[in-house]
Amino acid sequence: MAIQATDHIWHNGELIPWNKAQIHVMSHVIHYGSSVFEGIRCYSQPNGAGVFRLPEHMQRLVDSAKIYRMPIPYTAEELATAVIDVIEANGVTPCYIRPIAFRGYGEIGVNPLRSPVEVYIANFPWGKYVPGNDGADVCISSWNRLAPNTMPSLAKAGANYMNSQLIRMEAEINGYDEGIALDTNGYLSEGSGENLFIIRNGVMYTTPLANSVLSGITRDSIIMIAKQLGIPVVEQALPRELIYIADEAFFTGTAAEVTHLRSVDRILVADGKMGPITSALHTEFFGIVNGLKPDRYNWLTPVKVKTAEPVTV
């Protein structure tokens, strides 16, 4: 998925040309991974466009920065306004939005406190993240998720995604679409960039935050939808083998949205097709974000740009 350049990127309060968004090779972030970021989608609506759960994403960015003692000189509300500004300036929707804060050019050495914090926000077209139109074929990775009290899983930090890269590369090299990591105790955790859900006997299970998972905003959204649809939801530690006997399984995430799993370690999940509960959640989620159903949760922040017709999923 090559990046498609747009006209502008927001940088420290100003819109600058895409090609001017550059940093020095000696910036702290390049050497030590000192960044926090977000991934957000803006969806086409019948009469415009809407950014999905923008306040929650901006608050998570601020929270991630706080965990890493990274002072961001903007409030979550100011950053949300900046997201709208850059989308409207570029006139590109639907799109993916990437806000990022990082330690820039200052001093070399592990201690980041004397390096300035830079904030950028970009948006660009981006399509399907997890391959496979008929469901994803995934594996259990040989790489575990981060151990507690090592690197904070609740922070969406760039350095954490070195672990994700190992998971994703291993999966692809071995012929899978994605990998699922276990935590350090051998319980299911999440994908390289997705939260995990399993359906068994009509109950929807997902791994809790204590299993080294990111507090996913799409994850939270699907739990809300499930509860309204009357689907029992249980958050608990899940043994690896449960996924092999699941009736249904799926990923959630900003990039992955709602992606059902066709197989795990070459074992079909049921008959490999999207099951009825996943289908109901999938239909409800895409109905809301594409404006085909009422936004009863107030998830969408409107954007004033001309958009293409929403795609029925």
Residues annotated as part of the active site: 156
Length of the chain in terms of residues written: 313
Label residue 89 left, alpha or beta by phi (over 0 means left) and psi (-120 to 50 means alpha).
alpha
3-class DSSP assignment, residue 125: coil
Q: How far apart are CA 160 and CA 76, in angstroms?
A: 22
The alpha helices in 73-138, defined as continuous H runs, are 76-90
Q: Which amino acid is at 173?
A: I
Residue owning tokens 């997201």: 83
DSSP code per residue over 230-255: T--EEE---BGGGGGG-SEEEEEETT
CA torsion 161-252-58-230 (nearest 10°) is -150
The alpha helices in 91-145, defined as continuous H runs, are none
Residue 178, beta-bridge partner list: 138
CB 57 within 8 A of CB 36: no
The helix/strand count (H/E) of the chain reads as 6, 17
Q: How far apart are CA 220 and CA 136, in angstroms?
A: 21
Q: How far apart are CA 115 and CA 111, in angstroms?
A: 9
Closest among 36, 33, 40 to 66, alpha carbons compared: 36
- Tokens read off for 215: 């507090």
